Amino acid sequence: MKYVQYLIDAIALGSLYALVALGIGLVFGVMRIVNLAHGELLMAGGYTLYETNGWPAVLRVLTALAVVIAVALLMERLALRPLRRASPTTTLVMTFAVSFLLRSIAQKRWSAQGKTMNLFTDLNQAFTIGELRIKYLTIAAVVVGGVLLGAVTLFLDRTDLGLQMRATASDERIAQALGVRANHVVVGAFVIAGVLATAALVLFAPQRPVVTPDFGLQIAILALVGVVVGGMDKPSSATLGGFFIGFANSMLFSLLPKGQRVFLDSALYGLVIVVLLVRPSGLFQRETVTSRL
């Protein structure tokens, strides 16, 4: 029975990372940008939740959503749009710089000492089935993750803006020649990324209630590895990759002998190396798929 509990724990963690990976994968799919500053969107939302402690929960979430989207749009307009034609290396370094800047601002404003968000803490309660314990948060993460992945997929497949995003991802110059307004498409992608980051934050907050300047970085780094492992080109493969990395991290911890847990990172990244050697295009991506949403 304990192995079933391990599975439940692993699904819980995997679901949280899947949501973060979906946001990273979407921006990469549209802009071909690996946004290393995606975690700082979660951080910005986290400090918003801290600052709004005492407000009604729904209002706090909406305020966090507004702040996260605003930060995402500022990031796009001020740092990334001017580099639209630059090489991936340049934009990658730019997002790294933006990440560092935002964390420095947070450190200056709130210090390195953590601040408590206190949001939806009741989701940490669990119900039991026999010896198994399932947190409501796990159910919420699976449901929200599934709904948002479905919504993003539908959006990309069934809406004009989604079609334009796919066209831009496939070939931006041709898409523009056909009348697609690239700026609108990219702004749309960043707004959706902001929504996804806020959703991830709301689900992380009950479990990780203390926000620090590195709050988002710690989450996003692992999610980014998951995106690469899953396959970067499609939101679905990126999401599954995020789930995989969280799932694997949790399972490895549970299965490693107690005295060997210090090697958790080694085991996890060893697994990542093996996966990438065997499936360099991504674990959840067909080898023939190339660069499109």
Using rule CB under 8 A, residue 261 touches other proteins: yes
Nearer to other proteins (CB atom), residue 73 or residue 107: 107
Q: Which of 150, 159, 183, 269 binds other proteins (CB under 8 A)?
A: 269
**How far apart (Å, rounded) are the C-alpha atoms in residues 180 and 162?**
11
Contact between 41 and 219 under an 8 Å Cβ cutoff? The reply is: no
Q: Which of 62, 66, 101, 253 binds other proteins (CB under 8 A)?
A: 253
Binding residues for other proteins restricted to 60-89, rule: CB under 8 A: 88-89
> Which of these ranges, 77-85, 145-153, 154-162, 245-253, lies near other proteins under the rule CB under 8 A?
245-253
The DSSP 8-state label assigned to residue 117 in this structure reads: -
Nearer to other proteins (CB atom), residue 73 or residue 126: 126
- Would you put residue 54 in left (φ > 0), alpha (ψ -120 to 50) or beta? left
Contact between 56 and 234 under an 8 Å Cβ cutoff? The reply is: no
**How far apart (Å, rounded) are the C-alpha atoms in residues 225 and 265?**
12
Using rule CB under 8 A, residue 53 touches other proteins: no
Query: b/e map of 254-265 (b: 16 or more CB within 10 Å)?
Result: eeeeeeeeeeee
Binding residues for other proteins restricted to 32-51, rule: CB under 8 A: 32, 34, 36
Amino acid at 131: E
> Which of these ranges, 59-67, 163-171, 182-190, 209-217, lies near other proteins under the rule CB under 8 A?
209-217
How many CB atoms are located within 10 Å of the residue 221 CB?
13
Q: How many residues bind other proteins (CB under 8 A)?
A: 59
Binding residues for other proteins restricted to 215-234, rule: CB under 8 A: 215, 218, 221-222, 224-225, 228, 232-233
Nearer to other proteins (CB atom), residue 184 or residue 261: 261
Q: 3-state DSSP call for residue 128?
A: strand
**How far apart (Å, rounded) are the C-alpha atoms in residues 86 and 90?**
6
Residues across the chain: 293
The DSSP 8-state label assigned to residue 80 in this structure reads: I
Here's the x/- map for other proteins, 148-187, by CB under 8 A: it reads as: ----------------------------------------
**How far apart (Å, rounded) are the C-alpha atoms in residues 20 and 28?**
13
- Could you tell me the sign of the dihedral formed by the alpha carbons of 161, 166, 170, 174, in that order? negative
- Would you put residue 32 in left (φ > 0), alpha (ψ -120 to 50) or beta? left
Nearer to other proteins (CB atom), residue 161 or residue 267: 267
**How far apart (Å, rounded) are the C-alpha atoms in residues 159 and 167?**
12
Binding residues for other proteins restricted to 95-134, rule: CB under 8 A: 96, 107-108, 111-116, 118, 121, 124-126, 133
Q: Which of 15, 212, 236, 239 binds other proteins (CB under 8 A)?
A: 212
**How far apart (Å, rounded) are the C-alpha atoms in residues 211 and 112?**
9
Using rule CB under 8 A, residue 31 touches other proteins: no
Binding site for other proteins (CB under 8 A): 2, 5-6, 9, 12-13, 32, 34, 36, 88-89, 92, 96, 107-108, 111-116, 118, 121, 124-126, 133, 135, 207-212, 215, 218, 221-222, 224-225, 228, 232-233, 246, 249-250, 253-254, 258-259, 261-262, 264-265, 269, 276, 280, 290-291
